[in-house]
């Protein structure tokens, strides 16, 4: 077997969403519902039916978030995050305090966090921290965890861009 040479032209996308990607996700939900009905009639195990319901609900949730205008993005290394339903003052993350970064966020980013948090759309809101080569990003995260009783616990996750900013371009008046 020979390896074909791959040529990538500048600006050429390596991964492109098909033009009908929303319809494909809607079809996934429909197929899942049909499979659930058939497996229920067959008498599949409760665990199998629960896993399938979880997949269907995750796909429905994915669709509803995209329909609200959020853009799905690849999973990124999240520096800090907090639960989307965290109580005021409870921005603790397993990785440290999210509030450490709040002092370096523009007011508009803080307003966006407050608005998204109030909507309760995401399981977690994460920060991809700035570095010398990267602007900070706020990312909405939804998860579908496996059942603890299963042999293999797995997790599906989807990330959505909430907002980003270039700290170098922000005037001091934009910071609080």
DSSP structure string for 158-176: EEEEEEE--GGG--GGGB-
Given this model, what pLDDT does residue 95 score? 44
Distance CA 137, CA 27 (A): 31
| Blockwise average pLDDT, block size 10, the chain, 176 residues | 53 65 91 96 94 92 91 84 60 51 77 87 85 81 69 73 80 62
Given this model, what pLDDT does residue 1 score? 41
Given this model, what pLDDT does residue 29 score? 95
Given this model, what pLDDT does residue 26 score? 94
Residue extents of the structural domains in the chain: 20-67, 72-176
The pTM is what?
0.74
161 DSSP β-pair partners = 71, 139
Given this model, what pLDDT does residue 3 score? 45
């Amino acid at each position: 077997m020979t390896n074909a040479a791959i040529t990538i032209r500048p600006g050429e996308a390596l991964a492109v969403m098909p033009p009908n990607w929303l319809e494909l996700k809607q079809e996934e939900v429909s197929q899942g519902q049909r499979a659930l009905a058939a497996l229920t009639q067959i008498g599949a195990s409760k665990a199998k039916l629960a896993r399938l319901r979880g997949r269907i609900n995750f796909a429905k949730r994915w669709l509803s978030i995209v329909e609200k205008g959020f853009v799905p993005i690849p999973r990124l290394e999240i520096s800090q995050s907090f639960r989307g339903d965290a109580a005021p003052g409870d921005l603790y993350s397993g990785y440290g305090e999210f509030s450490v970064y709040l002092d370096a966020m523009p007011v508009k980013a803080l307003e966006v966090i407050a608005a998204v948090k109030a909507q309760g759309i995401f399981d977690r809101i994460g920060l991809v921290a700035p570095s010398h080569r990267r602007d900070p990003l706020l990312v909405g995260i939804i998860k579908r965890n496996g059942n603890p009783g299963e042999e293999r616990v797995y997790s599906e996750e989807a990330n959505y861009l909430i907002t980003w900013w270039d700290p170098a371009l922000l005037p001091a008046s934009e910071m609080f």
